Structures are given as C-alpha cells and as structure tokens.
Amino acid sequence: MFVGKLRPKRPHGEPDRGSAAVDFVLVGGVLALIFVSVIQLALVLHVRNTLIDAAGAGARYGALADRDSADARARTQQLIDSTLNPSYSQNVRVDEVNHGGTRTLRITVTAPFPALGLFGPAGMLEVQGHAPLPG
C-alpha cells in the first residue's frame, strides 16, 4: 500500500524554473570582481613596500662616511627603476633633518598610486626612509 503524495509530472515542453547558467553568471561575476580586487590590493602593497625599501636603502647608502645626498638620491632612483616603472622614481627628495637630537638623512619618495594596474593618479603615494648620519 502506498502512503504519501505523488508529485505531478511536468509536461515535456515546460522550462526549468531555476537556471544554473544564470547562477553561474551572477556568482562568477562577483567572484571575478573579488579576485581582481585582491590582486590589485597585493600590487598596491608591493609597490608601497618596494618604495619604502628603496628609500631606506638609499638613505643608509647616503649616510656612509664617503657618500653624500646626491649618492643617496641616485641609489634610491636606481633601486626603484630596477624594480618598478621609471615614473615612480621621478620625485625623490633628500633632506638632512634633526630627529631627536640626531642628524638624520631623510629620503622622501612621492609616486603615483597604482589604482589600475601600475597606472594611477600622480603624487598620491608618499613614503620615507631614514638613516642616522655619522657624527
């Protein structure tokens, strides 16, 4: 004996109520946007960290006893040019500052913010590197 309800059968010409293709397009688009956003964030962090490292290395190089601020600027620009687009090394500023009673060489790099790939508005990203000067 059969207890329960039977489902009515669909006629062969009736389309599906839900469509996997629509679900795939909607979810795939959102996932692609999230993926591209994460890659862009990683690129921004890479550029920022590379500029900070180049500024710090240039400052330490310029703070050596036989070097000056022109050497520090050239070294910083060389490091940036070898790792990033040369447009990132166009604005490198070198200053001698007094920081807590210690003479310090400060290198400031102002570069484009990589908003879309490596391209973006100029002058939006500013990083600094410091090194104590010999007494």
What pLDDT is recorded for position 16? 59
What pLDDT is recorded for position 117? 83
What pLDDT is recorded for position 27? 93
Per-residue pLDDT of 91-133, as tens digits, reads 999 999 998 899 999 999 999 999 888 788 888 999 999 999 9
CA distances from 123 to 62, 104, 128 (A): 24, 24, 14
pLDDT > 70 fraction of the chain, expressed in percent and rounded: 87
What pLDDT is recorded for position 39? 95
CB atoms within 10 A of CB 62: 24
Q: Tell me: pLDDT of 1 over 60.
A: no
What pLDDT is recorded for position 15? 62
CA atoms in the 13 A half-sphere facing the CB of 19:
5
